[in-house]
Amino acid sequence: MIYRNFSKRQNLAMTWWNRPGLKEHDAIICDGAVRSGKTVCMVVGFFLWSMACFDGKVFALCGKTIASLRRNVVLHLQQWLGGVLDVTEHRSDNRLEVRTPDGKRNTYYLFGGQDEGSYMLIQGITLAGALLDEAVERGIIEDSIVYRDLFDTKLMGLLTAMPREIISEFKRRYAMCPREATDWYYKYSQESNYVRAERISKDMKWTHETEYGTLDITINLSKPEKDPRDIAAIKRQKESTYPKCQLCPENAGFVGDAKHPARQNLRPIPLKIEGEDWEFQYSPYGYYNEHCILFNTKHTPMKINRSVFGKLFDVVDYFPHYFVGSNADLPIVGGSILTHEHFQGGRYVFAMEKADMEKTFEIMKYPNVKAGIVKWPMSVIRLVSDDRDELAKCCAFVLETWRDYSDPSVVILSETDGIPHNTVTPIARKTENMYFCDLVLRNNLTTKERPLGLFHPNPTLHHIKKENIGLIEVMGLAVLPARLARDIGVLEKMMISGQSLYALPEMASHAKWATEVLGRHPEFSAENAREILKQEIGEVFLEVLKDAGVFKRTEEGQLAFGKFIHKLETT
């Protein structure tokens, strides 16, 4: 294609939004002969306008089909915008990321719009310059993340089908195939914007190879941080106990407020788990594919006991294509919500599931159960059987034996002053007729030197990961704080230039580690800095998992693990 100088009308089509007398208009329509430059001018103008006026927003590009959109537009963007804007295409999720030299970044989703049903393809994606901005301009809502979220959830709630309709359709599809039911429900949860796919796509993700398998690393950028106006609104708001927590069934349809997210577009699916009423939904900010949550409809505390294994196996019977697990039930080693019984699951294979058993053993009381130690940084016992009832009893036996187990030689104490310390993080799955349950041994003992937990990330790792190690991390997926996204960029520049990190207070916590990284990588340069930092962060997460292990991956630790296994074999 040959390009010549733009005509006055073509220039106008690209820049009207910034011209006196025209910029107060909302849109432009171009009509002209075939190959008169309409596509080039409209596309270039759209990108110039959106990148000049917005930052961190989501837009849509629509063609008759995505293939034609790629052929006629995306293929030429570097030529049209090169030198002005940087364009990166993510083909797997039909998304473009566009950046300016000064750091602005917007996301553009590609859609095919060939019939009247195509609106469903963009339902749930909040497009910048549309309803929310209009609501702010008219004074309907305050211009803050919290109030924008409250308003867009209210709008999507009006468009989302009634609960009885969602439940009926799920049951109809489930009767044909459980996987078809969850496929449909997950897609609908995205379309209704309950699962915020466009925000999840902002998370930084990579993998890290270790002797234990491939770890997943995620820097969580999907949950928006509250701005000062939101924080002020929270302080002004009266305390409320409704809903009691974010897992209670009363959340469905809740209008939300400055402290509690709106849930008008939430449509949970009722289930019977061990004869109790539970509900099933997806996480709005999932960390992996089809990240789901199952919760007791009663506001009852988390408790790992005999009954929990029957509940987990009920779930994998109901959804045999999903894994399901529970956070531990004690502080420090448990999840963020210990006051409401719930599980997490989904369609994802974590590194721990792929890890082999490095040693097998027999539990005499349960001859139909295969048992073994998993080759993993933490202390994991895997139990496998085609007899669900016997497996559940065996899991309960291991749990109860561990609850009362102490080994002072490796500072494992079952209790101090009547306060229990031992529990497990259980994870279940099913393959054809075989049931699997991984029991991760946990202990929440604290000491004067380690007040956050003896089996918690040690203080030298807190600059990367200080938070509790819950179910998701246990299986090999690091959920790292959003601050690291900024820190990585600053670290790159300062380490390349040789600047002292101690000179910048917010970087000082990384200084010792960064010096060690440079010592291990004399090849550190602008070309490889980012990859080296990712690799080293992956190594930190591996150390985090080792710290959380009750029996260390040392000769002494493994001998101590063997003593506990012997107790299981002979009791």
Stretch 462-472: mean pLDDT: 94
**Helix or strand or coil: residue 333?**
coil
DSSP 444-464: ----SS-TT-TTS--GGGTTT
**pLDDT tens digit sequence for 491-517:** 999 999 999 999 899 999 999 999 999
Stretch 70-75: mean pLDDT: 87
Residue 505 to residue 509: CA distance in whole angstroms:
8
Cis ω for the linkage preceding 243 (within 30 of 0): yes
508 Cβ contact partners less than 8 Å away, ≥ 6 residues apart: 501, 502
**pLDDT tens digit sequence for 338-360:** 999 999 999 999 999 999 999 99
Backbone angles phi and psi of 220, in degrees to 5: -75, 105
pLDDT attached to residue 129: 39
Q: String of b and e for 349-388 (b: at least 16 CB within 10 Å)?
A: ebbbbebebeeeeebeebeebbbbbbbbbbbbbbbbbebb
Alpha carbon of 536 to those of 24, 212, 283, 383, 517: distances in Å? Answer: 50, 16, 29, 33, 7
DSSP label at residue 64: S
**pLDDT tens digit sequence for 187-211:** 999 989 899 887 888 899 999 999 9
Apex 325 CA angle, 320 and 331, nearest 5: 170
| Of 227-241, 316-330, 547-561, the least confident | 227-241
Residue 325 to residue 429: CA distance in whole angstroms:
9
**pLDDT tens digit sequence for 122-176:** 554 544 435 777 788 788 888 888 888 898 899 889 889 999 999 999 999 999 9
The confidence band for 113, taking pLDDT boundaries of 50, 70 and 90, is: low
Does the reported pTM lie above 0.85? no
CB count within 10 Å of CB 315 equals 25
Stretch 376-388: mean pLDDT: 98
Residue 439 to residue 424: CA distance in whole angstroms:
6
**Helix or strand or coil: residue 342?**
strand
Residue 189 to residue 168: CA distance in whole angstroms:
15
Q: What is the mean pLDDT of the chain?
A: 90
Residue 116 to residue 114: CA distance in whole angstroms:
7
Residue type, 45: G
Residue 445 to residue 415: CA distance in whole angstroms:
8
Which tokens hold the place of 514? 């960064």
**Proportion of the chain in helix, strand, coil states, percent, rounded to 5:** 40, 20, 40
**Sequence-separated contacts (24+) of 526-530 with Cβ below 8 Å:** 526/492, 526/496, 529/492, 529/495, 529/496, 530/488, 530/492
Helices (H), 417-523: 471-474, 483-497, 511-520
Q: What is the dihedral of CA 209, 210, 215, 221, to 10 degrees?
A: -70
DSSP label at residue 356: P
pLDDT attached to residue 126: 47
Backbone angles phi and psi of 517, in degrees to 5: -60, -45
Which tokens hold the place of 481? 């704080």
From 308, 289, 270, select the one nearest 428 (Cα to Cα).
308
What is the C-alpha R_g of the chain? 27
**Helix or strand or coil: residue 502?**
helix
How many angstroms separate the first and last alpha carbons of the chain? 80
The sign of the torsion formed by the CA atoms of 274, 276, 282, 284 equals negative
pLDDT attached to residue 25: 79
Stretch 563-568: mean pLDDT: 97
The sign of the torsion formed by the CA atoms of 461, 227, 230, 267 equals negative
pLDDT at 119 over 80: no
Residue type, 233: A
Contact 142, 158 (CB under 8 A): no
Stretch 553-562: mean pLDDT: 97
Ranges of beta strands (E only) in 5-93 are 58-63, 86-90
Which tokens hold the place of 527? 């070309």
DSSP 167-232: HHHHHHHHHH-HHHHHHHHHHHHHHTTSS-HHHHTTSEEEEEEETTEEEEEEE--SSPPPPHHHHH
| Of 72-76, 393-397, 465-469, 536-540, the least confident | 72-76
pLDDT, greater one: 425 or 2 = 425
Edge-to-edge order in the sheet of strand 357-361: 269-273, 276-282, 292-296, 342-346, 323-325, 422-431, 434-443, 380-385, 370-374, 357-361
**pLDDT tens digit sequence for 229-280:** 545 554 555 667 789 999 999 999 999 988 889 999 999 999 999 999 999 9
pLDDT, greater one: 164 or 77 = 164
Apex 334 CA angle, 329 and 340, nearest 5: 60
| Of 92-96, 259-263, 446-450, 519-523, the least confident | 92-96
What percent of the chain has pLDDT above 70?
A: 93
**pLDDT tens digit sequence for 407-455:** 999 999 999 999 999 999 999 999 999 999 999 999 999 999 999 999 9
**pLDDT tens digit sequence for 277-291:** 999 999 999 999 999
